[in-house]
Structure 1
Amino acid sequence: MDRLTASLLTLALYLIIGTVIAFISRKIGIKTTADYYVAGYKLSGILAAISYAATTYSAFMMVGLVGLTYKSGVGAFGFEITYLLSTIFLLSYVAPKVWRLARERKWVSPAEMVADLYGIKHLAILVAVIYLIALIPYASAQLIAIGRTVKGMTGSDIYLIGILIGVIAALIWTALSGMWSLASTDFYQGLWMILAALGFIIWLFSWGSEGGALWDGFERLSASDLLGMSSIWSIGTFIAYTIPWMFFAVTNPQVVQKIYTPRDEKALRRLVTLFTLFGLTYTVIVTMAGLMGRALSEAGKLPIIEIGDEVTPTLLAHAPLPLTVFVFTSIVAAAMTTMDAIVLTLSSAISRDVYQRTLGGTDRKAILIGRISILALLIVLSLVAYLRIGFIVDLSVLASALLLPLAPVTLIGWFLGERAKTKPIRYAAVLSLVVGFLTGLAWALTHGARKSLVTPIAGLPSTLFILLVSTLIMLLAILLSEVRKS
């Protein structure tokens, strides 16, 4: 069987199974926006966990992080493990409170949550607009990955067909039953992702060890700075890239929304445990793949690869055909899970926070508006993906950087409770979001996606500056509130 036939058959199998799963999920009754967007708060622990993990670990991992590790060394592992440890900490100590509040206050969208925390109804619209602007690049990065992956795995110039496949599958899998079809297909795709990653690293170790090339390469790497914090990872660069990732679990609505979904506290604890296992396994595999690839280049078994996003395709060009198409399809799956979740959460912001809050429509109409918005969002994403703006790594981190002002606003809202509704703090929440977001957006427009992350503002890493400014505004408001009280 040739590569094109094997690739198309594997893709077809993947899409058919996913679509069948999505259609089966329609049996779940969808009557309210809560049913549609947060599965009626009824997901099992294992379904919620794999859905959370699959949403979090996008095409950035098997494409972007492999390439980043190849180019910059073990510092990339520090960058990614910081995210994982931060997320585990936040899920362990904050998620139980958020989960309880979501049930008590009937939160459906994260924008609605922020508005409710501060008692400002229309704050949800501001947050929804921030989500839309910030997450379009991140979601489009997933479509770019799908297009490139389909092109790479088939060996044909069908980038646009890859984008079309992603859009159609996302429309069906997301619009059918909302979170139910999303979580069900996430579970299936998450298993595909982890099994493919395990198969990939086992093969790479075996193939690379032939003739001692891998070990020779690692000896050469040890003489360089790639097994430590290389010059690429200056303190400023590391901070700039890492800070948005540290607060990913708080700022990115597609994962915040997943915290609402477990059916009970036991399911929530299982979400945290299984996500930790998945995340640690996947992170170690992906970074080791990047290091092994670089070692093999140093040993001369592979050429030096100049473009980070091309590292995984180059490695897979030497793998057995069944493994190659299996791993390529797992990259499509990783991109799909993240894109689906972003599209669904943006849809909830449009239908729940913009439509229902402004016009007071019924749940039935809101769900219809949500489905229409899913289609509209996918059309926009496909246009952005067609333009191929930026690298996957940069688009992914840029999205979290633009969302950074939500970190202090959300965390302070969670911990202050009713005190967050005092006048100074309410006004500060709006000011913090506007100032922080506009600073990040202006910097990105001025310097571009990649340079905006590593170009300092007032001598500080740009993401640290944004976080400090937004946090300072909130802290000053809290101080003012305490002074007025006394």
Structure 2
Amino acid sequence: MTESMIWMAIAIYLSVSVMIAFLSRQKGVESMSGFFLGNRQMNGFVSALSYSATTYSAFMMVGLAGLTYAGGVGALGFEIIYFAGVSLVAIFGPRFWAVGRAFGFVTPSEMLGFRYHSKAVALSMSIASCIFLIPYCAVQLAGVGYLLEGMTNGAIGFTSGVLLATAIAILFAYVAGIRSVMWTDSLQALVMIVASTLVALLVIQALGGFGELFDTLAREHPDALTVPGSGLFSLTTFLGLSIPWFFFSLSNPQVSQRLFMPASLSAMRQMLIGFMVFGFVYTLVSILWGFSALTAFPGLERADLATPTLLGSDFIPPLLGVIVMVGILAAAVSTIDSIMLTLASMLSRDVYAHVKSDVSEKRQLLVGKFVVPVIALLALGFAELQLDLIAVLSVAASSGLVAVVPAIVGAFFWQRGTAFGALLSILGTSAFVLTMYATGNALWGLPAGIWGIAVATLLFIGGSLLTTPHAPSRVAFLDAVNDVLAKRR
């Protein structure tokens, strides 16, 4: 696979994607709802593919494969925990959708601010999301950098890959907001799942088939088929990685914001079913990639180089390898776009508009668009640090974001929840998790991933019991949910 072939593939991908992005434009994009939510008119098929491409980004094909390479079969259990957590969408999805329609919410933080009748709650969630999601955005950029560097043996450097992904992400975000991202995602997700599955089958066949692959693993890398195996997946580490991941669909605003977007509850159900099918296949493929790379290329300098090394090897036809590379690049860009747009909408809607009173929607949108490249550049700087395993960094971000989970659950299911409880939970848990990571990520032998949700829950309940809830906003909020759920029955 030559460097010129890779650049040509990227050029073709860009040309097709930009065309799709421009075709996705529609009237109403110059409003907050239009630019950031696609006017709440996304159908189930597009939503499913976009949700998949956004969630299963560089983390999966680079990060999860690398985690499998380093830690063995424990990576599968870790990802299955996330998969189980997607069931939360079935519970909270219709409720998000209902209040989004009733009150015109654009961001999850705006929703919590209304429910608890507190601008401070909305603002604190927005700031916390920026603190933890910019590093997660950087993870996606780093994934592209490792991918291009590994596949070209350094001809395309890490920094060049990061810069390329940043530029593409900004371009797509500006064309038509979330609509361009979702429509380009649809094409990318289809290419990604087909090509990556073919690659997995070809590599396994080249290694002698499934039986020979696992016989080789059992003989030469027995730790890869046991837990804790090499020691990476001790029970404590496994729980520390898995617990935050279980709450991913609620805690990560770039994901929960998409619950406002489907055109109907039927479209939301299609989105969830489609995502589950896609995710199951993609999870198995990523794990098989990691095992195949461990069998074929033991002793790699970095586990995150497992996928790039595999794609650049003689096991895979160059054309197919470059198609998969483009698919992974596209998925990473999709996640970066979603994070940038979500954070931009939160900063303009829940920070700027609260600090500056009586801000028009047009002004909010202008500020949101201005913030997009700023977020991208911050993520780029963080990516250049090249810190740790991609999968571990991804979970570190989710460990902090669990700070908002009790407030979200309480918004719908605990009428006693208050603004003080939500604020104390978000700020206190964020500070706690940051302190944990700054001081070695171990308190009484347990990591922040285990402590985070417990601390957040205790702070939310304790703070709420000390104060009085705001009844009018709570009643209006829950009435909107009940009206929609009653119509479904």
Q: TM-score if structure 2 supplies the norm length?
A: 0.90
Structure 2 equivalent of residue 364 of structure 1: 362
The aligned amino acid for 2:370 is I
Q: 1:72 to 1:387 in 2, by over 3 A?
A: closer
User: Residues 117-148 of structure 1: CA distance to partner in whole angstroms, max 9, x if unpaired?
Assistant: 21102321111111111111100111111222
Q: 1:171 to 1:212 in 2, by over 3 A?
A: same
Q: 1:262 to 1:343 in 2, by over 3 A?
A: same
Using the alignment, how far apart are the partners of 2:249 and 2:382 within structure 1?
A: 25
Structure 1 equivalent of residue 454 of structure 2: 468
Task: Give the conservation status (yes or no) of the 8 Å contact 1:28–1:180.
Answer: no
The share of aligned pairs that are identical, in percent, is 33
User: Residues 255-285 of structure 1: CA distance to partner in whole angstroms, max 9, x if unpaired?
Assistant: 0001110000110110110011011110111
SS in 2 for 1:404: helix
Structure 1 equivalent of residue 425 of structure 2: 432
Using the alignment, how far apart are the partners of 2:281 and 2:119 within structure 1?
A: 41
Report the alpha carbon displacement of residue 356 of structure 1 after superposing the two structures with TM. 2.2
The aligned amino acid for 1:443 is M
The within-5 A match list for 1:190-339 is 190-209=189-208, 214-220=213-219, 223-224=222-223, 226-230=225-229, 231-294=231-294, 296-297=295-296, 302-316=297-311, 317-318=313-314, 319-339=316-336
The answer for unaligned runs of 5 or more in structure 1 is none
User: Residues 286-340 of structure 1: CA distance to partner in whole angstroms, max 9, x if unpaired?
Assistant: 112212333x24xxxx343342101112222222211221122222112111111
Report the alpha carbon displacement of residue 473 of structure 1 after superposing the two structures with TM. 2.0
Task: Give the conservation status (yes or no) of the 8 Å contact 1:408–1:474.
Answer: yes
SS in 1 for 2:446: coil
Using the alignment, how far apart are the partners of 1:27 and 1:481 within structure 2?
A: 46
User: Residues 232-253 of structure 1: CA distance to partner in whole angstroms, max 9, x if unpaired?
Assistant: 3111101100111010011100
Structure 1 equivalent of residue 435 of structure 2: 442
Report the alpha carbon displacement of residue 224 of structure 1 after superposing the two structures with TM. 4.1
Which shifted more, 321-330 or 206-215?
A: 206-215
Task: Give the conservation status (yes or no) of the 8 Å contact 2:347–2:368.
Answer: yes
Task: Give the conservation status (yes or no) of the 8 Å contact 2:402–2:453.
Answer: yes
Using the alignment, how far apart are the partners of 2:430 and 2:398 within structure 1?
A: 11
Structure 1 equivalent of residue 25 of structure 2: 26
Structure 2 equivalent of residue 342 of structure 1: 339
The answer for unaligned runs of 5 or more in structure 2 is 472-489
SS in 2 for 1:387: coil
Using the alignment, how far apart are the partners of 1:211 and 1:431 within structure 2?
A: 51
Report the alpha carbon displacement of residue 341 of structure 1 after superposing the two structures with TM. 0.4
Structure 2 equivalent of residue 388 of structure 1: 386
Q: 1:384 to 1:459 in 2, by over 3 A?
A: closer
Question: What is the total number of aligned residue pairs between the two structures?
Answer: 465
SS in 2 for 1:409: helix
Using the alignment, how far apart are the partners of 1:147 and 1:307 within structure 2?
A: 13
Indicate whether 1:399 and 2:411 are aligned. no
SS in 1 for 2:176: coil
User: Residues 332-374 of structure 1: CA distance to partner in whole angstroms, max 9, x if unpaired?
Assistant: 1121111110000001011111222332322222212111111
Using the alignment, how far apart are the partners of 1:222 and 1:160 within structure 2?
A: 33
Which shifted more, 474-483 or 59-68?
A: 474-483
The aligned amino acid for 2:104 is K
Give RMSD over aligned pairs. 2.2
Using the alignment, how far apart are the partners of 1:50 and 1:433 within structure 2?
A: 31
Q: 1:201 to 1:121 in 2, by over 3 A?
A: same
User: Residues 387-441 of structure 1: CA distance to partner in whole angstroms, max 9, x if unpaired?
Assistant: 3233312221111011111111111112235x43xxxx22111111111100101
Report the alpha carbon displacement of residue 458 of structure 1 after superposing the two structures with TM. 3.2
Which shifted more, 269-278 or 214-223?
A: 214-223
Using the alignment, how far apart are the partners of 2:165 and 2:3 within structure 1?
A: 18
